[in-house]
Amino acid sequence: MRFSKMLVPTLRDVPAEAEVVSHQLLLRAGFMRKSTGGMYSYLPMAWRVLKKIENIVREEMDASGAQEIMMPIMQPAEIWQESGRWGAYGAEMIRLKDRHNREYCLGPTHEEMVTTLIKGDVRSYRQLPLHVYQIQDKFRDERRPRFGLMRSRDFIMEDGYSFDRDEAGLDVAYKTMYDAYTRVFNRCGLKFRPVEADSGAIGGSGSHEFMVIADSGEAEIVYCNDCDYAANVEKAELHTIKTADEAALPLEKVETPHCKTIAEVCEFLKLPVEKSVKAVAYDSDKGLILCFVRGDHEVNEVKVINAVGATEVEMAAEESLAKAGTVGGYMGPVGIDLDKATVVVDQSVMEMHNVCCGANEEGYHMINVNPGRDFKPSIVTDIRLIQAGDPCPHCGGKVSKARGIEVGQVFKLFTKYSKAMNATYLDENGKENPMVMGCYGIGVSRTMAATIEQNNDKDGMIWPVAIAPFHVVVVPVNTKDAESTAKAEEIYENLRKAGVEVVIDDRNERPGVKFKDADLIGYPLRVVVGPKTLAAGNIEVKARRTGEVRMLPVTEDYVAAIKEWLQAL
Ligand code: ATP
Ligand code: MG
Per-residue three-class SS string for 260-311: CCHHHHHHHHCCCHHHEEEEEEEEECCEEEEEEEECCCCECHHHHHHHHCCC
> Going by C-beta distance under 8 Å and a sequence separation of 6 or more, which residues neighbour residue 48?
469, 470
Residue 305 has pLDDT above 80, yes or no: yes
Q: Count CB-CB contacts under 10 A for residue 175.
A: 11
Q: From 235, 302, 406, give the residue whose CB has the most ligand 1 atoms within 8 Å, as the site to mutate.
A: 406
Question: What pLDDT band is residue 563 in, cutting at 50, 70 and 90?
Answer: very high
> Could you tell me which of 323, 490, 416 has the C-alpha nearest to residue 84?
416
Q: Is 136 exposed, middle or buried (0-12, 13-18, 19+ CB in 10 A)?
A: middle
State the distance from the centre of ligand 2 to the C-alpha of 35, rounded, in angstroms. 25
Distance between CA atoms of 352 and 164, rounded to whole angstroms? 47
Residue 203 has pLDDT above 70, yes or no: no
CA angle 340, 343, 347 (to 5 degrees): 170
State the distance from the centre of ligand 1 to the C-alpha of 185, rounded, in angstroms. 16
Residue nearest to atom 24 of ligand 1 (CA): 151
pLDDT score recorded for residue 58: 98
Residue nearest to atom 16 of ligand 1 (CA): 443
pLDDT score recorded for residue 16: 87
State the distance from the centre of ligand 2 to the C-alpha of 197, rounded, in angstroms. 8
Question: What pLDDT band is residue 451 in, cutting at 50, 70 and 90?
Answer: very high
Q: Are 211 and 219 in contact (CB under 8 A)?
A: yes
Report the atom number in ligand 1 closest to the C-alpha of 210.
18
State the distance from the centre of ligand 2 to the C-alpha of 408, rounded, in angstroms. 7
Residue 311 has pLDDT above 90, yes or no: no
End-to-end CA distance of the chain: 22
Question: What pLDDT band is residue 199 in, cutting at 50, 70 and 90?
Answer: confident
Distance between CA atoms of 418 and 426, rounded to whole angstroms? 13
Report the atom number in ligand 1 closest to the C-alpha of 142.
27
Report the atom number in ligand 1 closest to the C-alpha of 159.
14
pLDDT score recorded for residue 88: 85
Report the atom number in ligand 1 closest to the C-alpha of 218.
3
Q: What is the pLDDT of residues 386-416, one digit of tens each?
A: 999 999 999 999 999 999 999 999 999 999 9
Q: From 446, 451, 452, give the residue whose CB has the most ligand 1 atoms within 8 Å, as the site to mutate.
A: 446
Nearest listed ligand to the Cα of residue 156: 1
Helix (H, G, I), strand (E, B) or coil at 110: coil
> Could you tell me which of 264, 384, 279, 261 has the C-alpha nearest to residue 324?
279
State the distance from the centre of ligand 2 to the C-alpha of 20, rounded, in angstroms. 21
The proportion of the chain whose per-residue pLDDT surpasses 90, expressed as a percent, equals 94
Q: From 155, 159, 312, give the residue whose CB has the most ligand 1 atoms within 8 Å, as the site to mutate.
A: 155
Nearest listed ligand to the Cα of residue 234: 1
Helix (H, G, I), strand (E, B) or coil at 134: strand
Q: What is the pLDDT of residues 318-366, one digit of tens each?
A: 999 999 999 999 999 999 999 999 999 999 999 999 999 999 999 999 9
Give the phi and the psi of residue 12 in degrees, each rounded to 5: -80, -35
Nearest listed ligand to the Cα of residue 446: 1
Nearest listed ligand to the Cα of residue 449: 1
Helix (H, G, I), strand (E, B) or coil at 490: helix
Q: What is the mean pLDDT of residues 472-482?
A: 94
Question: What pLDDT band is residue 204 in, cutting at 50, 70 and 90?
Answer: low
State the distance from the centre of ligand 1 to the C-alpha of 117, rounded, in angstroms. 23
Residue nearest to atom 21 of ligand 1 (CA): 443
| Ligand 1 environment, Cβ below 6 A | 109, 140, 142, 151-152, 155, 157, 406-409, 441, 443, 445-446
Residue nearest to atom 22 of ligand 1 (CA): 443
Q: What is the pLDDT of residues 94-129, one digit of tens each?
A: 999 999 999 999 999 999 999 999 999 999 999 999
Residue nearest to atom 14 of ligand 1 (CA): 441
Which CA distances in Å does 351 have to 73, 162, 242, 379?
A: 52, 43, 6, 14
State the distance from the centre of ligand 1 to the C-alpha of 152, rounded, in angstroms. 9
Q: From 20, 149, 152, 157, give the residue whose CB has the most ligand 1 atoms within 8 Å, as the site to mutate.
A: 157
pLDDT score recorded for residue 201: 60
Distance between CA atoms of 461 and 251, rounded to whole angstroms? 63
Dihedral of alpha carbons 477, 483, 486, 491, sign: negative
Residue 163 has pLDDT above 60, yes or no: yes
State the distance from the centre of ligand 1 to the C-alpha of 33, rounded, in angstroms. 21
State the number of CA atoms in the 13 A half-sphere of 374 facing the CB. 25
Q: Is 268 exposed, middle or buried (0-12, 13-18, 19+ CB in 10 A)?
A: middle
Nearest listed ligand to the Cα of residue 197: 2
State the distance from the centre of ligand 1 to the C-alpha of 406, rounded, in angstroms. 7
State the distance from the centre of ligand 1 to the C-alpha of 200, rounded, in angstroms. 15
Residue nearest to atom 2 of ligand 1 (CA): 406
Average pLDDT of the chain to the nearest whole number: 95
How far is Cα of residue 316 from the mean position of the Cα atoms in its chain?
27
Residue 202 has pLDDT above 60, yes or no: no
Q: What is the pLDDT of residues 242-280, one digit of tens each?
A: 988 999 999 999 999 888 888 999 999 999 999 999 999
Residue 6 has pLDDT above 60, yes or no: yes
The proportion of the chain whose per-residue pLDDT surpasses 70, expressed as a percent, equals 99
pLDDT score recorded for residue 200: 72
Q: Count CB-CB contacts under 10 A for residue 95.
A: 14
Report the atom number in ligand 1 closest to the C-alpha of 140.
27
Q: Which of 68-77, 88-97, 159-168 has the lowest mean pLDDT?
A: 88-97
CA angle 273, 276, 281 (to 5 degrees): 115
State the distance from the centre of ligand 2 to the C-alpha of 406, rounded, in angstroms. 7
pLDDT score recorded for residue 218: 93
pLDDT score recorded for residue 474: 98
Q: Count CB-CB contacts under 10 A for residue 397.
A: 13
Distance between CA atoms of 150 and 141, rounded to whole angstroms? 14
Q: What is the mean pLDDT of residues 65-88?
A: 96
Distance between CA atoms of 564 and 569, rounded to whole angstroms? 9
Beta strands in 415-556 (DSSP E): 424-426, 432-434, 436-443, 456-457, 460-461, 472-476, 502-504, 525-529, 538-543, 549-553
Q: What is the mean pLDDT of residues 182-207?
A: 87
State the distance from the centre of ligand 1 to the C-alpha of 443, rounded, in angstroms. 6
